[in-house]
Amino acid sequence: MFKHVDYLQFQAKPEKPDALLAAKMQELVGGQFGEMTVMMQYLWQGWSCRVPGKYKDMIMDIATEEIGHVEMLTTMLARLLEAAPGEATEKAAAANPVLAAVLGGMNPQHAIVTGGGALPRDAAGVPWNTGYIIASGNLLSDFRSNVAAEAQSRLMTSRVYNMTDDRGVKDMLQFNLARDTWHQQQWLLGIEQLVADGFTENGIEDSNGDDENQEANHTFYSFDPESTAGEGRWAQGPTLVGGKEIVYVPDAQPLTDDKPLGPAPDPKLFVTYDGAMGKGKPGTGAGAHAQGVANVVNKIKGALD
């Protein structure tokens, strides 16, 4: 259960309205790595966490903070949009190049849809969706996703930070930058803790590890004869898991003579084929239908042996 306190975690006071900046800052609200993403990703991971105690509490703490970050940003956006012109026309633009830029660059939905408030969308106006988030139940994999999300989120914030001179906006973004620096470390420390607690040996996702192909797990295949990829650490020295020596294969060749060719499907699906049945219109090769039906029966029988 959640509670609300009617103060922002950190102030969101721009010096002046700026509709163009508001259009750009939408990326930090509803972008692939905006605050909605980390808010929802951590809430779902917290709710999905099956380890009671410090792990679950930690995730829920961060998730709860992030709801407040969306709150900070929506407040900032509403204030940046204070003077968003509801009536400005081409005539005004003719007299004022700044207005021309605002007319061109401001997000029309900031006026039409929200009446001067933030949108739950990115800087291109695309609605946020849960295809951006992950909660797999596997803390190692999810903490890796979280480090990445914080790094990308910080980078986007940093780029926007350089796009304004507004002291009030920069103050808030300095807070956000710091949280992203901190949160990157926190999730990396979370992986250290998972190792310390015996949930993973080395921070590499290796479930069913004994079953994996023992050649392909330490080999760099190169697919361009002129590639210089062999010069990097990823192509030489010991692996991080198991201490094998990395193998570098320049100009890699197929490991099989199997070709990417599917079988003839049920003729009733009218797929173009010839194969064993001879040429002909889809679905009408002699005997194809009967054979297809027989296949269905036989193959499923085989599945039960």
Among 35, 42, 190, 288, binds a copy of itself (CB under 8 A): 190
Q: Is 248 strand, coil or helix?
A: strand
Taking CB under 8 A as the criterion, which residues in 61-100 touch a copy of itself? 61, 63-65, 67-68, 70-72, 74-75, 78-79, 81-91, 93-100
Work out which of 232, 276, 287, 290 binds a copy of itself, going by CB under 8 A.
232
Residue 277 binds to a copy of itself (criterion: CB under 8 A):
no
For 90, half-sphere exposure in the C-beta direction (CA atoms, 13 angstrom radius) is 0
Q: Is 266 exposed, middle or buried (0-12, 13-18, 19+ CB in 10 A)?
A: middle
Q: Which of 167, 270, 276, 287 binds a copy of itself (CB under 8 A)?
A: 270
The alpha carbon of residue 51 and the mean position of all alpha carbons in its chain are separated, in whole angstroms, by 25
Planar angle of CA 296, 300, 301, nearest 5 degrees: 115
Q: Tell me: does residue 296 bind a copy of itself (CB under 8 A).
A: yes
245 near a copy of itself, judged by CB under 8 A: no
Does 283 help bind a copy of itself (rule: CB under 8 A)?
yes
**Neighbouring C-alpha atoms within 13 Å toward the C-beta of 39:** 20
Amino acid at 175: F
Residues 6+ apart with CB under 8 A from 73: 12, 25, 28, 29, 35, 118
Residue in 167, 275, 286, 287 binding a copy of itself, rule: CB under 8 A: 275
Site for a copy of itself, residues 23 to 42, rule: CB under 8 A: 23-24, 27, 30-33, 40
Sign of the alpha-carbon torsion through 138, 143, 148, 149: positive
Q: Is 142 labeled as ligand-binding?
A: no
Alpha-carbon span 280 to 177, nearest angstrom: 65
Name which of residues 139 to 168 contact a copy of itself (CB under 8 A): 139-141, 144-145, 147-148, 150-152, 154-156, 158-165
Please pick, from the candidates 42, 167, 169, 177, the single residue that binds a copy of itself as defined by CB under 8 A: 177
Instruction: State the number of binding residues for a copy of itself (CB under 8 A).
Output: 226
Shortest distance (Å) from residue 181 CB to a copy of itself: 5
